[in-house]
Amino acid sequence: MDGMLSQDEINALLNGMDLSEEDGGEESSASAVSAVYVDDSLLSEVEKDAIGEIANISMGSSATTLYSLVNRKVNITTPRVTLSNWANMTEDYERPCVFIQIRYTSGLEGSNILVLKEHDVKIITDLMMGGDGTNTDGELGEMHLSAISEAMNQMMGSAATSLSTMLGTMIDISPPDASLVDLNAFKSGSDIASFLDGTFVKISFRMQIGDLVDSTIMQLYPIDFAKTLYETFINNQMENSQPVPTAIPAPEPPQIQNIPPQMAAIGGNGMQQQMAMMGMPQVAMPQMQNMNVQPAQFQNFTTDYSGIQSNENIGLIMDVPLEVTVELGRTSKSISEILDFAPGTIIELDKIAGEPIDVLVNGKFVAKGEVVVIEESFGIRVTEIIK
């Protein structure tokens, strides 16, 4: 019948044969389908919602930490939780990218992976080192990976603190391990982490950093770790939920009706005496007290706090390596002159003999100094710091 598969076609699909080739072919369409198939029943919608809420709170505290590192407004939107596998992820995400593995050492057992785009990492590390976020030329090196590892260490440390409060248990992480990964070079994610070989949880966030970054970052969880996270979260919520005690109604005060107008002007003990003479029940009257009322006084804020923020934040990146360059001098040459270079060619620089040389950190001029000899190596003695 039209629209129905024949028995031969069904057998071909079950056996992994390629129906487009009569001789079998090297790779079947059935294999291609199975490579991207994801079993959504491994995680219920309720579990996805709970994990999304946990990730949202954790990443919110991480965004605050990232703001202190890059000194730019950071916005990380509500996460989207899905199930994925290696084939699907490599199709959807930019390559190469940076994988940052975080392992839990206390409170939770397992690990997760943060995935960032290479260009985003260059911008973040440039901002951390005092740049304006535009120095993104060249390849991603050890300096970038070291800096982003330190940033993620601070961010995920904040997230672990939030998780500790949310789950009611002390949670700690190991130092993150960052590496540049070319997704095309791996047929299976098991070469990176064992749980990437099958179906895993993918949490996608939209990350914005000022007007420099508008991108997507991902957090990858093993299925069993996600379920443990959900169960711990639900159990903690149930333990903290206590029944609200039934309110006991307060006794109503005695009703006083038909008070003569002249009694309204009598206060304090005089009114109580008049009510007693008339046989009316006595009601406790509020006692007026003399209160000493003075205008509020506030201290004038004249202290200069301009340097406090930077002093607090600098400790977060103390371990980030920086490239120090000593520049003896510069000159300009035409292409024809450069082509004439040969061993023995002398190039005159713009520095005068004996003049201090320049010290640059990440390409920025920070100090002046003089050349010294330390045993068999050259060194530099700093003579002036450039403010």
pLDDT value of residue 202: 93
pLDDT value of residue 90: 80
pLDDT value of residue 386: 86
Please give the distance of CA 13 from its chain centroid, rounded to a whole number.
44
User: Which parts of the chain have pLDDT scores under 70?
Assistant: 1-36, 241-314, 316
Is pTM beyond 0.95? Reply is no
Question: Cα(286)–Cα(56) distance, rounded to whole angstroms?
Answer: 52
CATH 2.30.330.10 in the chain: give the residue spans: 324-385
Question: Cα(263)–Cα(268) distance, rounded to whole angstroms?
Answer: 11
Distances (CA, A) of 221 to 203, 225, 278: 8, 7, 81
pLDDT value of residue 8: 55
CB neighbours of 105 closer than 8 A, spacing ≥ 6?
172, 173, 174
- Cβ of 97: how many Cβ atoms within 10 Å? 21
φ, ψ at 251 (rounded to 5°): -65, 140
Please give the distance of CA 177 from its chain centroid, rounded to a whole number.
15
Task: Write the DSSP assignment of 59-128 as a string of letters.
Answer: HHHHHHHHHHHH-S-EEEPPPEEEEE-HHHHHHHS-SSEEEEEEEEEESS-EEEEEEEEHHHHHHHHHHH
Question: Cα(198)–Cα(35) distance, rounded to whole angstroms?
Answer: 10
- Cβ of 145: how many Cβ atoms within 10 Å? 18
Q: Are strands 324-327 and 357-361 parallel, antiparallel or unpaired?
A: antiparallel
Instruction: Write out the two tokens for 367.
Output: 């100090």
pLDDT value of residue 285: 52
Q: Which CATH number fits domain 40-237: 3.40.30.10, 3.40.1550.10, 3.20.20.70, 3.40.50.300?
A: 3.40.1550.10
Question: Cα(200)–Cα(185) distance, rounded to whole angstroms?
Answer: 20
CATH 3.40.1550.10 in the chain: give the residue spans: 40-237
Instruction: Write out the two tokens for 343.
Output: 């061993």
pLDDT value of residue 305: 45
User: What CATH architecture is 324-385?
Assistant: Roll (2.30)
Mapped onto helix, strand or coil, the DSSP state of residue 379 is strand
**Per-residue pLDDT tens for 262-311?**
444 444 455 555 555 555 555 555 555 566 666 666 555 554 544 444 45
The angle subtended at Cα 365 by Cα 360 and Cα 368, nearest 5°, is: 80
The angle subtended at Cα 219 by Cα 217 and Cα 220, nearest 5°, is: 135
**Per-residue pLDDT tens for 38-91?**
788 888 999 999 898 888 888 888 888 888 888 889 988 888 999 998 888 887
